[in-house]
Amino acid sequence: MSKNAKRDTPEQEEFRRYCRDWLASNVPAAPNFKPLKNGAEVATQQHLEYYSVWQKSAYDAGLVGCDYPVEYGGGGRTHCQSIANQEMLRAKTPILPGAIGLGMAAPTIFFHGSESLKQRLLPKLLSGEELWCQGFSEPGAGSDLASVQTFAERRGDKWVINGHKVWTSTAQFATWMILLARTDKSDKYNGLTYFVVPIKSELGKSVTVRPLIKITGETGFNEELFDDLEIDDAFRLDDVGKGWQVAMTTLAHERGAGPLTTPMSGGQGLAEDKDSKPKSERSEFPLIKLAQHCVRNGEPAIDDPVIRDKVMNMLIRQVGIKQNRRLRRVPGLADSQRLTLQDKLLGTEYLQDSAALALEIEGPAGTLSNFDSAAPDNGMWPLAYLSSFGGTIAAGTSEIQRNILGERILGLDKSK
């Protein structure tokens, strides 16, 4: 290890040992379905059960929520969640299904919720007994989050909510939703208020959840319609009109930039630990193998120097992204924020461009879907290309990412 690597504190050291011991005998057996890579992928009852059991077990052992105070169901430790995360990654545990709850709702409730909300909501959130979903995006509010129109009207001690939210992962399983609503139509930024909303109990009544069909024909997201949903004012976070500021806390934690470390578990189902050195570039870079197997006009595609040039260019991008992630952790050598803000753009555009190149390599066979037995690589590439637009559009489009880089890093005037 280099001199710059951080040392554990005594508390962390002890906790690391504890985690390691506990994990040695408590990692569950692999599921009998293809392991998921993150909580947003939970799609079936079977998924839900397997991962909820794991979250409860890890929570009970003190590995989830360890930095939260004891009175909110946490472990009362300091800077220990990252240790637990590292050890769970190392032990290739299953993922945690409560990703939106743990990563976004929990810190927001912690920083902006009332004492009673914190006591009521956080324990079951951390244990995974209650699942959460996020109600921010709307058909008319994508890149411009502040333009949400879902309206909450005050009626005495209650709020009545009407509107339409979209792109909600796991809404079909969630007990609660964090919801950004408009409470004042005359002020764009100061007219928003942030609520926690019980949706499961209102399903089929004032809340409708419908699956959204993606460009690929698959489901995976939902939309929700609110029709006179009535909630108590106690479900409001922070003041009326402060919704935008509260949402910033949520987004900061979503991007890993908030003060609270998100509990993360996983490794099971991931091909490679992203920090460890792969055996060879070729094994984790599928385009070379694809180009060796596909025939373009009578010759293996890899023998076409134009294809080769493009494949090498893509390999260089892939290795560069990995090294960029490595570089950002070296103080003195690089500006960590500058590199971190590039990550989403780099990753999502790489996936898109490499899938497009795969289709070029495949030639006519690139027309075949994943349901055609003759499709190379089981038809994953056309699907990967179409799916890649989820990456370049969601959570800040590539266009917005470039704005952020130009504005926050280069100090250019805001484009909006």
Partner 1 sequence: MTATSKTIQQPKDFGFDADALALKDVAEKFFQDNLPTQKLHALVAHDSNLEHGTVSRWDADLWQQIVDLGWLMVSVPERVGGMGMSAVAVATLVEQAGRAALPGPLVPTLNVSYILGACGTDNADAALSLICEGSTFSYAACNKSGSWEHDTSDLVIEGGKLTGEVHFVQDAQKVDYFLVNAKLVNDNQGVDTTLVAVPANAEGLSIMPNAIIDLTRDQARLQFDQTPIENQQIVSAPGKALEALRLATPALLVTISADICGAAEWQLQTTAEYARTRKQFDRNIGFFQAVKHPLADFMIAIDLARSHLYNAACAIDFEPEKAEQFARMAKAAASDAAAFGSKKSVQLHGGIGFTWECFVHIYMKRQLHSQTLLGDASHQRAKLAELILSQS
Minimum Å gap between C-beta 148 and partner 1 is 12
Taking CB under 8 A as the criterion, the residue among 366, 377, 384, 396 binding partner 1 is 366
Is 10 a binding residue for its own copies by CB under 8 A? The answer is: no
Residue number, 304 or 353, with CB nearest to its own copies = 304
Residue number, 52 or 392, with CB nearest to partner 1 = 392
Residue number, 92 or 402, with CB nearest to partner 1 = 402
Q: Is the dihedral of CA 45, 50, 51, 56 positive or negative?
A: positive
Is 399 a binding residue for its own copies by CB under 8 A? The answer is: no
d(CA 221, CA 167): 5
In contact, 396 and 406? CB cutoff 8 Å: no
- For residue 72, the SS3 value is helix
Q: Which stretch binds partner 1 (CB under 8 A): 35-43, 97-105, 250-258, 288-296?
A: 288-296
In contact, 383 and 370? CB cutoff 8 Å: yes
List, as own/partner pairs, every contact residues 373-379 make where C-beta atoms lie below 8 angstroms and the sequence separation is at least 24, other chains included: 376/290, 376/293, 376/294, 377/286, 377/290
Residue number, 30 or 213, with CB nearest to partner 1 = 213
Report 143-162 residues binding partner 1 (CB under 8 A). 143-144, 147
Active-site residue, from 87, 202, 223, 254: 254
Query: Which helix H or strand E contains 121, and what residues bound it?
Result: helix 115-127
Taking CB under 8 A as the criterion, the residue among 61, 160, 380, 386 binding partner 1 is 386
Q: Which stretch binds partner 1 (CB under 8 A): 50-58, 94-102, 197-205, 290-298?
A: 290-298
Is 187 a binding residue for partner 1 by CB under 8 A? The answer is: no
Minimum Å gap between C-beta 383 and partner 1 is 8
Minimum Å gap between C-beta 108 and its own copies is 35
Q: b/e per residue, 364-374, with b = 16+ CB within 10 A? A: ebbebeeeeee
Q: Which is it for strands 221-232 and 192-198: parallel, antiparallel or unpaired? A: unpaired
Tell me if residue 254 is catalytic.
Answer: yes
Q: Which stretch binds partner 1 (CB under 8 A): 58-66, 176-184, 250-258, 408-416?
A: 408-416
- Give me the 305-344 binding string for partner 1, x by CB under 8 A, dash otherwise: xxxxx-xxx-xxx-xxx-xx-xx-xx-xxx---xx--x--
Is 374 a binding residue for partner 1 by CB under 8 A? The answer is: yes
Residue number, 33 or 189, with CB nearest to partner 1 = 189
DSSP state of 138: B
In contact, 163 and 120? CB cutoff 8 Å: no
Minimum Å gap between C-beta 233 and partner 1 is 30
Is 280 a binding residue for partner 1 by CB under 8 A? The answer is: yes
In contact, 240 and 193? CB cutoff 8 Å: yes
Looking at residue 223, its amino acid is E
Encoded tokens for 399: 């266009």
**Interacting partner of 60 out of its own copies, partner 1, none (Cβ under 5 to 8 A depending on kind):** none
Report 292-321 residues binding its own copies (CB under 8 A). 304-306, 309
In contact, 171 and 130? CB cutoff 8 Å: no
What angle is formed at CA 260 by the lines to CA 259 and CA 261, rounded to 5 degrees?
120
**Interacting partner of 83 out of partner 1, its own copies, none (Cβ under 5 to 8 A depending on kind):** none
Is 30 a binding residue for its own copies by CB under 8 A? The answer is: no
Q: How far is CA 286 from each of CA 245, 276, 317, 351, 376, rounded to the nearest angstrom?
A: 43, 18, 14, 12, 12
- In sequence order, the β-bridge partners of residue 225 are 164, 208
Is 369 a binding residue for partner 1 by CB under 8 A? The answer is: yes
- Give me the 60-79 binding string for partner 1, x by CB under 8 A, dash otherwise: --------------------
Q: Which stretch binds partner 1 (CB under 8 A): 9-17, 151-159, 202-210, 298-306?
A: 298-306
- The full DSSP string for 219-266 is --EEEEEEEEEEEEGGGEESSTT-HHHHHHHHHHHHTT-SSSPPP---
Minimum Å gap between C-beta 93 and partner 1 is 19
CA torsion, ordered 372, 373, 376, 381, to nearest 10 deg:
40
Encoded tokens for 297: 């006009």
- Give me the 203-232 binding string for partner 1, x by CB under 8 A, dash otherwise: ---------xxxxxx---------------
Residue number, 4 or 415, with CB nearest to its own copies = 415
**Which chain residues interact with its own copies by CB under 8 A?**
304-306, 309
**Any idea which residues carry the catalytic annotation?**
254
